[in-house]
A and B are shown apart, each in its own frame.
Chain A
């Protein structure tokens, strides 16, 4: 079952060996444990677990919260997603495809650029903290602010970006927020601008945690910069990189704000992400049943990706 596989990986992998002073028997302190967990579990069960389960129940109905009747329809909402020509399947898979495009396009930039920047910041330079602060600053702004700012700057007719391009002699009518593939470039670019600092800072921490001795040993072995990077830096960064990768993939897969504010999902619905479509279907059209079914399909996809990701990490750390 996915949950316990993930749990296994997380429980076993990074935990230090238990060197208990007592014998090898591990004491079970179930009562105490649940006492510690109680405040969290109460909130969790009411506001997370219950909705997640009732979401499944809702997905088996045609569920409009404003109407008195919610007819049970079994797996129809799910089946409709896989039947071409139904009301939802075309839009749903298009939005899933768009989510896939965005994730594949954004994640590499959201990993490589921060990695390079972190490597640079790891050098002895003056003002490192200032740079760090500047890079992290956009993350502090919310998606609404970021969306508003970039919608204006990227406006094809009025935005600064096109005017600057024009001044440089480049085409100045690029439809950054209006047409693909430019809209994708905009979305990825804005996302990188917004969250790059967060990843950078975490990767920087990971870099600082790699012992200098390892680099010295590699240098003594005759390794140049590139070799050092691949045989010391990357392996040492692995756990941190794994965390950042997972978080970034999840964030990209759940992207909503940037599309909603910058392109409104356009042109047509070419940049409408899964979450945008699900939110529209469930909240604007009041089709909570269909929206819940779609959410769980998305959940399954994310779960599979996560398991694969964790399995890969576990295999590598065991080799």
Chain B
């Protein structure tokens, strides 16, 4: 009886998928459609679902076990095993483990890794799962579902988004004789505030030449000046356009004007904010739960609009369903149930400093009453940019960090740094295209 239902659902899913599959062209090894599940109610034999994630810091280590325990209690035929490890470790060991059949049944990955994993045949397509769980693009912030889509097949189900914001140390503003409640939002206001801080002896925004968070600020600025990181089909780097040069020059000018020290170390900018040595820091929403800030009178705001457009960098995390050697369909189906449940119960996830992706959860007014500091980040989502979708993209975006580092440290002019990086990125994109079939 159970088998008949399974068969019925399989046929339905296959029919729904046929259009998508026809468009998919080359199918990567082992990328079969995800197991069958409807509306998040797995009803097969008892299974254990291994779940890998990179949630090792902050509030997550306390929150996640609670969620998992609750899920396990409510679902008698599913046991989820939570396996947290450092993000870098996951990227190192997961691909090989999946090929060896020892990877997880479900995992959380960042947006810029999904296309790479998909192209390497590591993931199951989850168009079917998406449909049967009842999700569509409108359930998530604009453009987010597409972030997990590669070659017209869906591989990710969004879980959270983490945009950049402007952190403000109000004590520092007060001491400089400025109104701590007036946070600048335009370029002119922002620069004027920095100038006033400078006369009061404060270097108002420390810029650094590292990924966290110099690169995020740079990318935000590139979009704000109307540019983009890559062209539409991701075959060429475009971050060295005029917009890019303007963006990077703006950052190096902050040093030139004396609003930032030169040669700031990794995390030096955030530490300076904590220590009351600077007023502003462009940083991710995840810092809202960093208790290093506990002693400071701080607030967060949307990043000021320095360029002609409103734009801000955001990362995203998605659920993925690895296609392990010998992956059990039941385990994938159970994993899908887990994913739906987690998304539905993700209101508490805001405590980790990430914004739940599911619109219904995030737009619930209760979220803001519980976590008021998140408001400015929520307001930014309509113009947030997520990661570029292309296999192997992380190596190309790494060149942006190199250019930033060289320009901030004064080794190269912004234009030269960006041009060199773009040349390198183009070569990398070419290599990716020939390896992964573009």
Contacts and interface: CB of A to CB of B under 8 A. Distances in A.
B209 interface: yes
Contact of B402 (A67, A68, A268): A268
Interface residues of B, number: 34
A67 B29 CA distance: 9
A318 B392 CA distance: 56
B138 to A, nearest CB: 34
A268 B428 contact: no
A179 B266 contact: no
A206 interface: no
A65 B402 contact: no
B428 A87 contact: yes
A155 B264 CA distance: 9
Interface stretch (A116-124, A170-178, A194-202): A170-178
Interface string B27-59: 001000000000000000000000000000000
Given A87-B428, A157-B271, A264 B266 contact: yes
Interface string A67-101: 11000000000000000000100000000000000
B95 interface: yes
B272 interface: yes
B263 A179 contact: yes
Contacts of B121: 66-68
A267 interface: yes
A236 interface: no
B264 A178 contact: yes
A138 interface: no
B118 to A, nearest CB: 11
Contacts of B436: 67
A208 interface: no
Nearest to B410: A179
A87 B402 CA distance: 15
Pick the most buried of B122, B277, B402: most chain A CB atoms within 10 A of its CB: B402
A285 interface: yes
Contact of A177 (B265, B271, B395): B265
A267 B266 CA distance: 11
A247 interface: no
A55 interface: no
A156 B431 contact: no
Nearest to B119: A67
Contacts of B92: 283-284
B120 A67 contact: yes
B263 to A, nearest CB: 4
A233 interface: no
A278 interface: no
Pick the most buried of B99, B264, B266, B402: most chain A CB atoms within 10 A of its CB: B266
Interface string A1-29: 00000000000000000000000000000
A157 B262 CA distance: 11
A282 B176 CA distance: 51
A266 B122 contact: no
A267 B95 contact: no
A158 interface: yes
A157 B264 contact: yes
A155 B99 CA distance: 40
Given A66-B121, A87-B427, A156 B405 contact: no
Interface in B351-373: none
A157 B268 contact: yes
A156 B402 contact: no
Nearest to B272: A157
A66 B268 contact: no
Interface string A210-234: 0000000000000000000000000
A177 B209 CA distance: 12
B435 interface: yes
A68 B29 contact: yes
Interface in A258-286: 264, 266-269, 283-286
A64 interface: yes
B322 to A, nearest CB: 12
B411 interface: yes
A18 B104 CA distance: 61
B296 interface: no
A166 to B, nearest CB: 14
A268 B120 contact: no
A93 to B, nearest CB: 15
A62 B435 CA distance: 9
Nearest to A64: B435
Interface of B: 29, 91-92, 95-96, 99, 120-122, 209-210, 261, 263-266, 268, 271-272, 275, 277, 392, 395, 402, 405-406, 409, 411, 424, 427-428, 431, 435-436
23 contacts: A66-B99, A67-B120, A87-B424, A156-B265, A157-B268, A157-B272, A158-B268, A158-B275, A175-B265, A177-B266, A178-B209, A178-B409, A266-B209, A266-B405, A267-B405, A267-B409, A267-B411, A268-B402, A269-B402, A283-B92, A284-B92, A285-B392, A287-B431
Q: Which 9 pairs across A and B sit closest by C-beta, in order of nearness?
A: A175-B263, A66-B120, A87-B427, A268-B406, A157-B268, A267-B409, A156-B265, A178-B263, A66-B95
Given A66-B122, A177-B266, A284-B92, 13 more contacts: A64-B120, A87-B427, A87-B428, A87-B431, A156-B265, A158-B271, A178-B263, A178-B266, A267-B406, A268-B406, A268-B409, A268-B411, A285-B395
